[in-house]
Structure 1
Amino acid sequence: MITVVLVDDHPVVREGMRGMLSRETDLAIVGEAAGGAEAVTVATAVRPDVVLMDLRMPGVDGASATEQILAACPDTRVVILTTYETHADIVRAVAAGASGYLLKGSSRVELAAAVRAAARGETVLAPSVSARLRRREPRVVLSAREVEVLGHVARGLTNAEIGRLLHIGETTVKTHLQRTFAKLDVSDRTAAVTAALAYGLLAPP
């Protein structure tokens, strides 16, 4: 069972998300919050697998709440669910450590699939967000091998699996990832994939 916390300052939006996800037998809503500060409190208490997070809220916004939640609950994945899709908003979410970025017009099937993907450690982006990111000029440059390794990370492969697939040692895979982390100014695999997507360096999965 994948546990989920819903965060949005509009009760009707939370009700709609709850209604859609409650139809999925493998998803369980374990908490809700009407703002960023409350979201941090709830997530820290129940430690869900996934948080669906609104971006723009009064007080503590979604990006700040995401950063605080991930600091307290590193195994939790946060997916931004918003009506905004500007590049600045996306980059703020990426910088905070969000695993995905969806729009509130997403269907029940898309939303449920995104929650499952995020729980598996995958990066989730709405198609329109992916298209917007592909039009952006990259801010950093990754080597072809670094992109190749990161692409396999995005598909959920372990370092050992990537090494076997590319016929290189696991230590070499780690070295490529460490260099990628440094270039993207991130500290983990999920953040690296999300940042590379946001900068248009990696094709959306």
Structure 2
Amino acid sequence: MTSPATRPPIKLLIVDDHPIVLHSLVSLLTTYGPPVQVVAQARSAEEALVLAEQSQPDIVLTDLRMQPTSGITLIERLSARQPGIRYVVFTASTQDEHMLQAFDAGAAGFVVKESEVEVIVQAIEAVMGGSTHYPAGLMRALERRQQQPSLTAREAEVLALVAQGLTSKEIARFLGIDFRTVDAHRANIRQRFHLDSSAALLRFAMENSKN
């Protein structure tokens, strides 16, 4: 059995478009040391996609509200390329909509930016171990969504394009995401609203799309 002292470090890629926040995170987590090892840092989702290929991180710690490409889109794109990576969101936003979007994209950990470095490391360790680290607000939002089906912002975008008759690959190109992610969103919508066919999904999209 591997002891904590000899266990391989958790390789971390940090992504934030605010230089001061990024520098502070890198400094704090580098100083903290094991079990975390910062292997790369990026100031945009585009840069992160390149660095992830080079550094092969275990965990990506990312902000959500970045420009021009959000952390949510980064998670979707990177998941399609490197499915073994896990995600912890580091964000100032505690809005249910933003947290649910990140959850749907594949984030398994959420940490608010006011947190101490120990909390960030706890979230990273939990996610690396196959568990989750969710705030109470996200748990309540998930419970509400289970009780009353609704669309996430990304699902609404997909549904609007389904209503226009676009295929999954066409929607993927339009949104800049992998077509398998589009298929997953379509499947989620069908399951949540008990739509038994693609034709039923199209009718639902035409009746409910706001775009």
Post-superposition CA distance 1:84-131 (Å, at most 9, x none): 01111011111211112221111111001111111112111134544x
Q: Percent identity?
A: 28
Report whether the alignment pairs 1:5 with 2:8: no
Residue matched to 1:31: 40
Q: 2:80 aligns with which of 52, 71, 84?
A: 71
**What's the CA shift for 1:136?**
2.7
State the match for 2:6 in structure 1. Answer: none
Tell me the SS of whatever aligns to 1:21. Answer: helix
2:146 corresponds to which of 129, 138, 157? 138
Partner of 1:114: 123
Amino acid at match of 1:136: R
The number of residues matched between the two structures is: 145
Distance in 1, matches of 2:13 and 2:136, equals 23
* Aligned match for 1:83, one of 80, 83, 92: 92
Structure-2 residue corresponding to 1:147: none
Aligned-residue offset at 1:14: 1.1
> Map of 1:38-53 to 2, 5 A cutoff?
38-53=47-62
CA shift in 2, pair 1:26/1:121, >3 Å: same
Equivalent residue in structure 1 for 2:111, among 78, 102, 105: 102
Shift in Å, 1:44:
2.2
Instruction: Report the Cα distance in structure 2 between the residues aligned to 1:4 and 1:87, rounded to whole angstroms.
Output: 26
Contact 2:18 2:43 in 1 (8 A): yes
CA distance in 2, matches of 1:45, 1:139: 43
Q: CA deviation at 1:76?
A: 0.7
Residue 4 of structure 1, CA deviation: 0.2
SS in 2 for 1:38: helix
SS in 2 for 1:79: strand
Structure with the greater relative contact order (CA < 8 A, sep ≥ 6): 1 or 2? 1
Say yes or no: does 1:126 pair with 2:157.
no
Q: Bigger radius of gyration, 1 or 2?
A: 2
CA distance 1:55–1:26, shift in 2 (3 Å) = same
> Structure 1 residue 60 and structure 2 residue 69: aligned?
yes
2:75–2:106 Cα contact (<8 Å) kept: yes
Q: Is the 8 A contact 1:99 1:122 kept in 2?
A: yes
Partner SS, residue 144 of structure 2 = coil
Is the CA contact (8 Å cut-off) linking 1:140 and 1:184 kept in structure 2? no
Q: Separation in 2 of the partners of 1:139 and 1:92? A: 18
Give 2:90's aligned amino acid: L
Matched, 1:15 2:59: no
- Structure 2 stretches lacking a partner, 5+ long: 1-8, 150-187, 194-211
- Kept after mapping to 2: 8 A contact 1:140/1:183: no
Residue 94 and residue 184 in structure 1: after superposition, are their counterparts in 2 closer, same or farther (change >3 A)? farther
d(CA) in 1 for partners of 2:61, 2:125: 12
| 3-state SS in 2 of match to 1:98 | coil
